[in-house]
Structure 1
Amino acid sequence: MEGGMVEDVSFIGGLIGVQFVYAGNAVLLSYLMSLGLNSLTIVIFSSLATFLILLPVAFYYERSVWPMKFSLKLFIQILLLSFGGVTLLQSLFLKGINLTSPSMGTAMPNLAPGLIFVIAWTFRLEKVDLSCTYSKVKVIGTLLCVLGALTMSIMSSLSISAPNKEATVQLVSSPPPDVLLDRQKIIGCLYLLAAVFMLSSNIVLQAFTLGDFPAPVSLCAITSLFGAFMTAATQLIQDHEFKTSWSLVSVKDLIAYSLLAGTVNGICLSFNGWALKKRGPVLVSMFSPIGTVCSVIFSYVTFGDTINIGSFGGMILMFTGLYFVLWAKGKEGYANGDGLDSEFDAGKPLLV
């Protein structure tokens, strides 16, 4: 009894701690970009740090399951995972955070379960029968997630201009203030939506790749290395230069942050892998909204950012849709007769 209670406390406390770390990292990344660091530069250094930290772990624990030879199909899959999951995903995510806020950046990934369901359904990896209760709930949950994301994007981009006092001083009642859309925040939300789509697509592709390369830590290390080189090439093509000095940040500071972030993220990934093995991805995913709440608090304390009522309402819609999808996904695996079999079973972790 005591051992089980200790494990439960460790499980819940650890997952909450992981969300705190992710939220703090989003705020720190926003701060680094405010100092003038390019998002691609951050991706390069953090990806190289991830590779250096994961390589010895992968060699020690997974070298026995490495494939004897790489097929062309596996090599192409790894390249796609590297470009999509490192270069595109992280750069889009960082640009989105820079134009919006860390809280928006941690809220948008909650769209992923719904988008994964849609992508898997499109490629017939997920069986859907609209006469099945769980399929209906997943469809409704996905729609709520999308509606919540759109509401958050629009409401966070609204700004109200104050009326001109000199022009209205003689009027009995002043005209209503103009409601304006912040173009930068709209673009930032589109970046985040594109990043979440890339994340969802990568999770599906990763599930296929792990069938031929059953070593998740090694796969993460390889894609991080390839992704760092691809990101460096992208920066050279885009900016025609590769900066190694900045006015407010030194190379040593950036290396120190990258190694620290890589170590902490490695610990978080390892804990998530243990939690996924113990309880499955459904329960683990239910803790993800905590990261958004933490990010809102951190952003308010550090930057003074606030969230309006409309954005908060959209966030609630997204979280509701997320839990609908996760609930249906969890029940599907245990249904007798009413449930549907799926390649993406509730007990099969797609991410480590």
Structure 2
Amino acid sequence: MKKEMIEEVVIVGGLVMVQFVYAGNSLLMSYLMSLGLGPFTIVIFSTFATFLILSPFAILFERKQWPKELSARLIGKLVLISFAGVTLFQSLFLEGIRLTSPAMATAMPNLAPGLIFFIAWIVRLEKMDMKCVYSKLKILGTLLCVFGALTMSLMHSASIIQDEKDNASIFVFDRDRVVGCIYLLGAVFVLSTNVVLQASTLAEFPAPISLSAITALIGVLITMLVQLLQNESGKVLTRSLISIGNLVGFSLLGGMVSGACVSFNGWAMKKRGPVMVSMFSPFATVISVGFSVLTLGESICLGSVGGMALMFIGLYLVLWAKGKEGFSQIESFECEFDAKKPLLS
């Protein structure tokens, strides 16, 4: 009994700490971009650090699980996952952070479970029975997430000014913030689609660490190519106020911390299931809002808070419905990557 209680405290405390790390990561990315670093530069260094850190573990623990041959279809999937998950997602996400705020950036990913469910249902990796109340709740939760995200985006981008002539209040939208919210919404959609693609790929390549390492390396190469095509290969670093040494240090530290967080989430998922792990994701938003108010002096309007609340309610509806369907318990972490199993189980 005592051992179980200690384990429960470790899991809950660890999951909360992981959310602190995720919130801090958004603030760090915002700070690095304020020093002149471009999104592509951050993506290249941080993703290459991830590759360096994951590769030894992939070789040690998953070498026997590597496929004997790489088909053209599998190579195509790896390239697509790399482009979507590394180059496109991270670039959109970082650009969204730059134009909005870390708080907004940590709130948007709460859309992902609902979008993953919807996309997986379209490609028949997720089941849905309209006669089942839980399927209806998942749809309702997804709609609430989307509506909450749109509300939060609009309220975050709007400000009220007083018209001196008519003495009336006028809503004015900040163009940069609107564009930033669109970037974040696009990033979450790309992320959700990529998760579905990863699930199907892991059926052919049943080595999640190796898959992450390979796609990280391919993603770095693709991002470097995109940056070269945009003629930004040297421009970002020369304008930056941060040295190469510090950038490498930040990247390696971020890679190690990120790897530790992913590993802990995997262990917690094995012990308590993915629903419990996912339930803690809104904590990062709350923490990030607190950090932004205290350190960056940002203000949060009631409309944005209301949008966040709707998104959180929608998220928990989706997760609760999934748990009630009986898929929340898993035998092992590896079975999370079975393409025949519902993705949000």
For normalisation by structure 2, the TM-score amounts to 0.93
Seen in structure 2, the aligned counterparts of structure 1 residues 346 and 159 have a Cα distance that, compared at 3 Å, is closer
Shift in alpha-carbon separation, 1:274–1:12, aligned structure 2, 3 A: same
In 2, distance between residues paired with 1:248 and 1:263?
24
Q: Name structure 2 gaps, 5 residues minimum.
A: 329-339
- Separation (CA, whole Å) in 2 of partners of 1:46 and 1:26: 13
**Distance between the aligned counterparts of 1:57 and 1:216, measured in 2?**
11
Aligned length: 333
Quickly say closer, same or farther: Cα 1:258–1:202, change in 2 above 3 A: same
The worse-fitting range, judged by mean Cα deviation, of 155-164 and 45-54 is 155-164
- Whether contact under 8 Å (1:333, 1:345) holds in the other structure is no
* 1:240 CA drift (Å): 5.0
AA aligned opposite 1:11: I
The corresponding residue for 2:337 is none
1:308 alignment counterpart: 301
CA offset at residue 343 of structure 1?
A: 3.0
Alignment-derived partner of residue 79 in structure 1: 79
Is 1:248–2:236 an aligned residue pair?
no
Partner of 2:206: 214
Deviations 1:153-184 (A, max 9, x none): 100011122444xx6xxxxxx71232101111
The CA distance in 2 between the partners of 1:223 and 1:326, in whole Å, is: 28
The one-letter code matched in structure 2 to 1:132 is C
% same residue: 59
User: Match of 1:245, SS?
Assistant: helix
Give the one of 279, 288, 307 matched to 1:286.
Answer: 279
Helix, strand or coil: the match of 1:161?
strand
Greater radius of gyration (CA): 1
Instruction: Summarize the alignment of residues 115-134 of structure 1 with structure 2, pairs less than 5 Å apart.
Output: 115-134=115-134
Which stretches of structure 1, 4 residues or longer, exceed 4 Å deviation after superposition? none
For each residue in 1:84-119, what CA deviation from the matched residue of structure 2 results, as whole angstroms up to 9, or x when unmatched?
000000000000011000010000000001101110
Corresponding residue for residue 160 of structure 1: 160
Determine helix, strand or coil for the equivalent of 2:172: strand
Q: Which runs of 5+ in 1 are unaligned?
A: 168-173, 336-341, 348-352
Which residue of 2 is the match for residue 344 of structure 1? Answer: 342
Q: Residue in 1 aligned with 2:175?
A: 183
- Per-residue CA distance 1:58-99 (angstroms, 9 max, x = gap): 111111211121111111111011000000000000000110
Matched, 1:193 2:185: yes
User: 1:247 and 1:291 mapped to 2: Cα distance?
Assistant: 28
Preserved contact between residue 15 and residue 287 of structure 1 (Cα < 8 Å): yes
Distance 2:231 2:344 in 1: 44
The aligned residue for residue 331 of structure 1 is 324
Letter in 2 for 1:8: E
Per-residue CA shift, 1:105-143, capped at 9, x if unaligned? 000000001101110111122222222100110011011
Distance in 1 between residues matched to 2:168 and 2:192, nearest whole Å:
42
What CA distance in whole angstroms lies between the structure 1 residues aligned with 2:80 and 2:40? Answer: 18
Quickly say closer, same or farther: Cα 1:318–1:66, change in 2 above 3 A. same
Q: Which moved more, 1:317-326 or 1:127-136?
A: 127-136
Whole-angstrom distance in 1 between the partners of 2:23 and 2:290: 9
Root-mean-square deviation (CA), in Å?
Answer: 1.5
Write the letter of the residue equivalent to 2:342.
F
